[in-house]
Amino acid sequence: MPPKKIVTVIGARPQFIKASAVSALLRQDERMREVVVHTGQHFDTNMSDVFFEELGMAPPAHQCAVHGGSHGEMTGRMLVDIEKVLLAEQPDAVLVYGDTNSTLAGAVAAVKLHIPVAHVEAGLRSFNVRSPEEVNRILTDRVSRWLFTPTNAAGANLRHEGSRADHIDQVGDVMFDVALHHGARVDEHGGVLGELRRIYGLRPGAYCLATIHRAENTDHPARLTAIVEALTHFSKEIKVVLPLHPRTRSVLAQQGRLDALERAVILMEPQSYLAMVQLEKYAALIATDSGGVQKEAYFYRVPCVTFRDETEWVELLDAGWNRLAPPAEAATLLSSLHASLGSKGAELDAYGAGDAAKRIVARLLRDLH
């Protein structure tokens, strides 16, 4: 029997990381053939290429160049490009990840051509429909044939919304697979930590790692100000390391605030995955608005403060590893940072057994052959 063809649509940093686990297995299996489409949503070397190299992924077979623009413009241009690829490739299924515009465009292009869609990280909900990620998640889940959920909460959300039970498959979190595989390879010596120790005297276990990139923070000056002020104050007590997302860098540069921030915190370019793992693993505290980084904090048992009003990874709040800190004013963010520093949560069994990718490929094989 000829191999079944899967077109994987990815375009943003977290998707390269998630896809690396599944792509490695698809490549090994002669009953499957994967064709990767990169939409171009993230395109800088340190937001894209570095992940393909470091995580051992084959270069994309199709490279689109859709970067920038409004949500409608970006998603629309992706739809046009992805549709052309799907018409040429005629795959048996389309695989999409997470909650970006690339996810939605891949799902819509496929379902309109009657190609079944597999959504990895299905069912997550923040219940904030003003966030672009939430809209992308809901619409993608609605048209997907396979809903691969990472957590119990995600499965419950889908059942509540009326998704078919036989479409939902609780496989665990592919990011946990990747963290298990790569996290163990990283220790405190050398790498970015070694460099920061040499330059700034940074010691493992004695710094706060921060990331900020979500539109709900970068595009709202009062929220971004609260975060920047809180991190600036906090840096007087503990060193703060901030690998800066290009969107955040550009907003802060426009506001003329980059120099002041750079004097307070250790400002860095976006890091590679393994460098980020090292920074996460040896942090005393993580402060972030990222979805993935919240979970990675727990994978390395580092307390986390999330600069958002809500999160889709609710189990980490219940377990005490994560604390929500809505960015209203700097003083309350600072209290949250103080409260979380040195805290621990309860052990969780929430993200599967590190075999999510294996279970996804097994299910696709079973249903497609």
The residues carrying an active-site annotation are 213
Q: Is 271 in the site for ligand UDP (CB under 6 A)?
A: yes
Q: Taking the complex as a whole, how short is the minimal distance between the CB of residue 46 and ligand UDP, in angstroms?
A: 8
Sheet harboring 117-120: ordered strands across? 62-63, 32-38, 4-10, 93-97, 117-120, 146-149, 168-170
Give the one residue of 40, 292, 303, 352 binding ligand UDP; rule: CB under 6 A: 292
Q: Is 13 in the site for ligand UDP (CB under 6 A)?
A: yes
Count of positions on this chain that bind ligand UDP (CB under 6 A): 15
Q: Is 150 in the site for ligand UDP (CB under 6 A)?
A: no
Closest CA to 140 of 80, 89, 100: 100
Using the rule CB under 6 A, give the single segment among 20-28, 61-69, 286-294, 334-342 that binds ligand UDP. 286-294
Q: Is 325 in the site for ligand UDP (CB under 6 A)?
A: no
Tokens of 278: 């090292």
User: If DSSP codes are grouped into helix, strand and coil, which group holds residue 49?
Assistant: helix
Q: How far is residue 326's CA from residue 332's CA, in Å, rounded to a whole number?
A: 9
Using the rule CB under 6 A, give the single segment among 111-119, 123-131, 265-273, 350-358 that binds ligand UDP. 265-273
Nearer to ligand UDP, 268 or 319 (CB): 268
Binding pattern to ligand UDP, positions 15-34, x when CB under 6 A?
--x-----------------
Q: Taking the complex as a whole, how short is the minimal distance between the CB of residue 271 and ligand UDP, in angstroms?
A: 4
| Helices of type H across the chain | 13-28, 49-54, 71-89, 101-112, 132-143, 152-161, 174-183, 191-200, 215-218, 221-234, 246-254, 258-264, 273-281, 291-299, 314-318, 330-340, 356-368
Residues in 186-215 that interact with ligand UDP by CB under 6 A: 211, 213
Query: CB 70: neighbour CB atoms within 10 A?
Result: 8
Q: Is 266 in the site for ligand UDP (CB under 6 A)?
A: no
Closest CA to 103 of 79, 67, 70: 79
Give the one residue of 106, 172, 270, 345 binding ligand UDP; rule: CB under 6 A: 270
Give the one residue of 7, 210, 283, 293 binding ligand UDP; rule: CB under 6 A: 293
Nearer to ligand UDP, 17 or 333 (CB): 17
Q: How far is residue 134's CA from residue 250's CA, in Å, rounded to a whole number?
A: 24
Q: Taking the complex as a whole, how short is the minimal distance between the CB of residue 276 and ligand UDP, in angstroms?
A: 4
Q: How far is residue 65's CA from residue 133's CA, in Å, rounded to a whole number?
A: 21
Q: Residue 46 contacts by C-beta under 8 Å, 6 or more apart in sequence?
A: 269, 270, 271, 272
Nearer to ligand UDP, 14 or 60 (CB): 14
Nearer to ligand UDP, 216 or 229 (CB): 216
Give the one residue of 123, 243, 303, 345 binding ligand UDP; rule: CB under 6 A: 243
Q: How far is residue 94's CA from residue 96's CA, in Å, rounded to a whole number?
A: 7
Nearer to ligand UDP, 243 or 352 (CB): 243
Q: Is 101 in the site for ligand UDP (CB under 6 A)?
A: no
Q: Taking the complex as a whole, how short is the minimal distance between the CB of residue 273 and ligand UDP, in angstroms?
A: 4
Whether 85 and 66 have beta carbons less than 8 Å apart is answered as: no
Q: How far is residue 144's CA from residue 168's CA, in Å, rounded to a whole number?
A: 10
Using the rule CB under 6 A, give the single segment among 193-201, 290-298, 300-308, 330-338 that binds ligand UDP. 290-298
Q: How far is residue 51's CA from residue 45's CA, in Å, rounded to a whole number?
A: 9
Using the rule CB under 6 A, give the single segment among 9-17, 68-76, 82-90, 253-261 that binds ligand UDP. 9-17
- Interaction site with ligand UDP (CB under 6 A): 13-14, 17, 211, 213, 243, 270-271, 273, 276, 290-293, 296
